[in-house]
Amino acid sequence: MTAIDKTIDSLSTQIAQLQARLQKIEARKRDLKTKADNRRKILVGAAVLAMVDRGEWSQADLTMVLDRYLTRPQDRALFDLGALDSAPAEPPLQPADTYQPQPDSYHQPIY
């Protein structure tokens, strides 16, 4: 094996090691993003429940939002919401990352 072949082999090994390291770092980044997203959801839920407990938001309003947003049977059962109708009466809520405010009475802030 010539010196250039040894250099190529050595560099190929380094590339493979760096690619494996990069994959681990990218996986860690995804994991941290998922954990932060889950933490945000927990905190928002805690804030909403505290608002209901303090009477700042009614249980009926919370139930209405959950009824419109939750679609999976196991999620609906957790909140005693019953089966979902085949055709919703109102448009479903949008996830936070795709929400765009609309200038109509339907999208008024909840206080």
- Whether this prediction's pTM lies above 0.85 is answered by no
What residue type is 105 in one-letter code?
Answer: S
Q: pLDDT digits over 69-82, tens only?
A: 999 999 999 999 98
Residue 107 is predicted with a pLDDT of 47
What pLDDT score does 23 carry? 97
Distance (Å, whole) CA 54 – CA 48:
10
